Amino acid sequence: MSYVLESKSEFDRLEHQSGLSGYDYQRELALAGLSSLQEGMRLLDAGCGSGVLARHLAHKHSGCAVVGCDISETRVRQARDAARDLPNLHFELGDLTRLDYPEGHFDVIICRYVLQHLPQEIRPAALASILRCLKPGGRLIAIDFDGGFLNLHPQPSSWLQEALRSLETRFPVDLRIGRKLPHLLVLAGFSEISWRIDVLEWRDELLAQERMLMDERILALEPVLAAVLGGTPEAQRFRTEYLAALDTPGSVLFYNKFIVTGRKPSRQGFGIP
């Protein structure tokens, strides 16, 4: 997997996004049932990005050891710089398909907005790597969107409709990953799989916030969109038409956020409360 966005501005965007209600990691953890943790537990934020979630976990659970790993050297360096005052938190380079930790090392692994970026053919290796690193009875929390970009109405032009169909099939991010997560965890060997679907409805002030974020995303992704849609002019047209659709009175935009949990099987029958 190659990191699409390596700039300093992407760190700032991720930090800003995490402060908005639709991307509230504390709500996500609550919906996943991760409330209290015992001292001495080990937690991994796998694909940590800016490190905002790992910082929250380390601050809230000071008796736990928290690790954040990411494949991007830029993200890891920026995450370290933002977490110098948290001695129980460490950031490391790491490839999800080949996590370099001992077997059974972590009590909880969180994979937030990450699996959507992995090509279909390497997802099994990533989930096998995560499973290996969990203790028996340990827990994976996987969080991803379903319908990002796509769940928009109206789509005023046939050109925009075709462009969105191209994104669904050719974009390097799987925009329908959420609904696939429970079955992927089954195939990977996890047990006790459960999930919640948190519907995010963007309207009024929230729609205005998401429109601004969407504009930033489209601009940052222009080279990728150009490759998918056939050129830079097409990417720029996509930005113009997509934002115009969002500005249409009565426009509807929603995402389904899947919060999926599974455990590493344990014959001993113990787990994390």
* 72 occurs within a structural domain: yes
- For 29, residues 6+ apart whose C-beta sits below 8 A from its C-beta are 35, 110, 141
* 151 occurs within a structural domain: yes
pLDDT digits (tens, 9 = 90+) for 231-271: 999 999 999 999 999 999 999 999 999 999 999 998 644 44
C-beta of residue 55 within 8 angstroms of C-beta of residue 82: yes
pTM of the model: 0.91
Q: Rounded to 5 degrees, what angle do the CA atoms 225, 200, 221 make?
A: 15
The per-residue pLDDT of the chain, averaged, comes to 92
Q: Which residue has the higher pLDDT, 272 or 262?
A: 262
pLDDT of residue 122 exceeding 80: yes
The number of distinct structural domains making up the chain is 1
C-beta of residue 146 within 8 angstroms of C-beta of residue 255: yes
pLDDT of residue 79 exceeding 50: yes
* 270 occurs within a structural domain: no
pLDDT digits (tens, 9 = 90+) for 175-199: 999 999 999 999 999 999 999 999 9
- Residue 68 is part of a domain; what is its CATH number? 3.40.50.150
Mean pLDDT of 212-219: 93
Backbone Cα Rg of the chain: 19
* 273 occurs within a structural domain: no
* 138 occurs within a structural domain: yes
* 104 occurs within a structural domain: yes
* 3 occurs within a structural domain: no
* 245 occurs within a structural domain: yes
Q: Which residue has the higher pLDDT, 42 or 14?
A: 42
Structural domain range at position 156: 8-263
